[in-house]
């Protein structure tokens, strides 16, 4: 069913939080980035709230009255998220996100798919230790200057009373949602037209996934933790999609023959 909560795309970022917290083999991947990410993120948000929050609330109050306090907070959080993403997501944690995504895929029975693009050791104390070096380019989400610029351009939507902030979140989720499956598309070895077609068929699902992921990443200090847990959720969703695919069409080289029967997954 369309609203089957067990398979709803928008729930996967939340399911990723629980999965991350309950699977100890993933914790070391977060610990290696924890201290610099938390302190630098906290510093960025503190500077923004100290210098930018009240001036922006004062300006927004002209149009929104008392609602400016809420819209101003979302505006500053959005600015902080853009800065944090630009500084960390592409340059500091993308390799970690790839490892998280691949580890979840392997743990959930998709070893063959992951092995097509990286070395997997047959034995290890846990799934993460089985991950070897990638044999092909491995990117969780490619750095996109266009996406960052669009994020900044959409920020003024928060100036619009009542509906501005939801519009900002949904439109940003629409653009950003598919990026969370970039690694999955790599593992499937999809061409650009195939990626576009896959995204088109699930655009609503990617929008809801991306919107929830963005809301989590707007939470100060914890934004990078939620970025990592969202990578877990993205992998769990990919596993769900793979488990629903016909067995003979799961190998990347036969993906062109794959008929997507997952249109009803919200």
* Position 236 in a domain: no
Residue with tokens 């610990």: 31
Domain count, the chain: 1
Q: What's residue 264's pLDDT?
A: 44
Taking the C-alpha atoms of 175, 21, 266 and 206 in order, what is their torsion angle to the nearest 10 degrees?
Answer: 10
* Position 265 in a domain: no
Compute mean pLDDT per 10 residues along the chain, 266 residues long, and list them. 64 95 88 72 84 83 77 79 66 81 94 91 83 88 72 75 81 90 93 93 94 87 83 95 71 46 47
Q: What's residue 231's pLDDT?
A: 94
* Position 252 in a domain: no
Element (H, E) at 118: strand 118-120
* Position 187 in a domain: yes
* Position 220 in a domain: yes
pTM of the model: 0.79
* Position 266 in a domain: no
* Position 251 in a domain: no
What range does the domain containing 79 cover? 5-231
Here the tokens at position 189 are: 């070895």
- The closest alpha carbon to 262, from 6, 7, 5, belongs to 7
In the three-class reduction of DSSP (H, G, I as helix; E, B as strand; rest coil), residue 104 is classed as helix
* Position 254 in a domain: no
Chain center to CA of 247: 27
Here the tokens at position 80 are: 């902080």
């Amino acid at each position: 069913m369309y609203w089957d909560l067990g398979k709803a795309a928008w729930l996967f970022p939340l399911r990723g939080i629980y999965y991350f917290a309950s699977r100890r083999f993933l914790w070391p991947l977060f610990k290696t980035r924890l201290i610099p990410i938390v302190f630098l993120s906290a510093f960025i948000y503190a500077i923004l709230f100290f210098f930018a929050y009240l001036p922006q609330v004062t300006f927004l109050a002209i149009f929104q009255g008392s609602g400016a306090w809420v819209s101003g907070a979302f505006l500053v959080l959005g600015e902080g998220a853009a800065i944090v993403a630009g500084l960390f997501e592409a340059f500091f944690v993308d390799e970690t996100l790839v490892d998280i995504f691949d580890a979840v895929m392997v743990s959930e029975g998709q070893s063959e798919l992951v092995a097509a693009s990286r070395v997997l050791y047959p034995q290890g104390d846990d799934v993460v230790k089985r991950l070897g070096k990638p044999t092909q380019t491995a990117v969780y989400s490619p750095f996109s200057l266009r996406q960052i610029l669009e994020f900044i351009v959409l920020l003024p939507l928060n100036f619009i009373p009542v509906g501005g902030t939801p519009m900002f979140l949904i439109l940003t989720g629409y653009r950003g949602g598919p990026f969370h499956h970039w690694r999955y598309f790599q593992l499937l070895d999809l061409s650009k037209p195939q990626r576009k077609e896959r995204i088109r068929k699930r655009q609503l699902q990617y929008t809801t996934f991306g919107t929830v992921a963005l809301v989590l990443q707007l939470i100060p200090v914890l934004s990078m933790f939620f970025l990592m847990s969202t990578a877990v959720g993205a992998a769990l969703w990919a596993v769900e999609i793979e488990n629903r695919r016909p067995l003979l069409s799961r190998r990347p080289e036969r993906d062109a023959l794959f008929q997507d029967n997952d249109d009803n997954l919200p």
